A and B are shown apart, each in its own frame.
Chain A
């Protein structure tokens, strides 16, 4: 149980909105990884995570153990995203992920426009391969590589055992390696 979360939740309940922002800062990447793993679209994941945080804010009083905010929030994100995907699937397939602005491109060590295009192509291929994985495998890959969670933390969110997470990660990475063989040899 997270002591910091408990304090933040209690501050929100006593009327401190800024404290909720602390929770958003702390968990938005985790929520984003979760939502993306399910819906496969960063832009949609952003909207859904916003909705999930709004829901979390307004129902915060129903959280019985404030120390378990992370797991509780993960449940809301999953439920929002699954609802969206179910609704969406009955109309058309999930749109391919759209790319985002290049605000963080510098951190990839890009030198030229050509590099940028090449990196973006690489990125899209990796994301495409990840989208091709079964949902449970996508989830562990996103939580591990986007958020850098430990096996234990992933297990806590998915409700699986640590050993199961380790095996799933191993299997997902092996599948990705096969799919991205040509990229990995570059």
Chain B
């Protein structure tokens, strides 16, 4: 039969096991447990239950192993300068003594004032438009929040132009920010070639160089920090240097007309128009790339020897052979050979006949990506 003492123990058993009771109550319960067999059994059952829950959390990736792994990651991020070192405070304004109490207000007003000045000076970064060849985009998250922007939409980097400095703000209404939130944290954006190109470097070292001019590039929002990369080039031109991908990791870029699946390679991809027809043009510099049309019915294994290939495949009644344009060269209004491939240019596993593009010299990835129509 349960008495008041047993009820008291039953009600307080979990706090007793969780060590949340006062010493007096602990002593009281311990004493009762020694003399009451049903309560003892209940105590043992609850203790077993607690041990079972604890055991479920024993084998997790957290603990000392995590700390070591993270330390390495932090060193890498700092070396790549994808993080702002909090000890180097380049933006915080330190107000004079009497104003220190209002430091937050001062910082916010300083940021707002800096932004206004930057706008007035025409220094606010305009994505992908080569407005100012002296602009250098540097890495690193902002040292502090920007008034009126939610945390998720804060800037991605800091830019400097001579002695002036400003912030890069990626908003959904700006082009690349369609996918910004999904881009791996720590992905690095830089300007190169005198501000003509935008370079995006992912954490695994993969580099995408976007040519100056109109661009619409979307990073798939289902990108997991450790998962595969999936992007969509809707407009514009990019050159990619994809590092070898792990077994479970894929790298894929789609366009309105085609898809490119990569294992580890260097290639150039462009969404453009040829004779008024929208096409996607691919040229591979190194490795192999699987080039698929939008439906996936046609796929071509493209290698450096294949030259540039366009998708959709040109009509059999198109221009004569030998007028394949360079993927990144000046637009000539030419299209790849429609008369079928010369021997060996289309792999045997191609699902449908592919054109025989002539090998074209492909510019170096580090060279300016310029001159194409968008």
Query: Which A residues fall within an 8 A CB radius of B?
Result: 12-15, 17, 20-21, 24-25, 28-29, 31-33, 36, 42-51, 53-55, 57-62, 79, 83, 87-88, 91, 99-100, 102-105, 107-108, 119, 122-123, 126-127, 130, 141-142, 144-146, 150-151, 166, 169-170, 173, 176-177, 180, 183-184
Contacts and interface: CB of A to CB of B under 8 A. Distances in A.
26 contacts: A12-B86, A17-B78, A21-B74, A32-B62, A42-B60, A49-B62, A50-B70, A50-B73, A53-B74, A62-B143, A87-B181, A87-B182, A87-B222, A91-B222, A100-B61, A103-B65, A107-B58, A123-B56, A126-B52, A144-B18, A145-B54, A150-B18, A151-B20, A166-B20, A169-B18, A176-B53
Contact of A123 (B20, B59, B89): B59
Contacts of B151: 79
Interface in B60-75: 60-67, 69-71, 73-75
Most A Cβ at <10 Å: residue of B62, B69, B141 = B62
Nearest to A83: B152
A105 B87 contact: no
Contact of B56 (A25, A126, A169): A126
Given A54-B83, A141-B53, 10 more contacts: A20-B74, A28-B66, A46-B62, A48-B225, A104-B59, A108-B55, A123-B56, A130-B53, A169-B14, A180-B52
Nearest to A15: B87
A49 B53 contact: no
Most A Cβ at <10 Å: residue of B61, B63, B65 = B61
Contact of A88 (B70, B71, B87, B222): B222
Nearest to B83: A58
A51 B225 contact: yes
Interface string B169-185: 00000000000011001
Interface string B198-226: 00000000000000000000000110111
B113 interface: no
A36 B59 CA distance: 13
Contacts of A61: 86, 89, 92, 143-144
A28 B52 contact: no
Interface stretch (B43-51, B250-258, B312-320, B332-340): B43-51
Nearest to A174: B14
A107 B63 CA distance: 14
Contacts of A51: 185, 225
A100 B58 CA distance: 11
A15 B87 CA distance: 5
Nearest to B152: A83
Contact of A59 (B20, B57, B74, B141): B141
A163 to B, nearest CB: 11
Given A127-B56, A177-B49, A42 B67 contact: no
Contacts of B62: 28-29, 31-33, 46, 49, 146
Contact of B70 (A24, A55, A108, A141): A24
A50 B77 CA distance: 12
A184 B48 contact: yes
- 8 closest Cβ pairs, A-B complex: A32-B62, A146-B57, A15-B87, A126-B56, A47-B225, A145-B53, A60-B86, A46-B61
A121 to B, nearest CB: 12
B226 A47 contact: yes
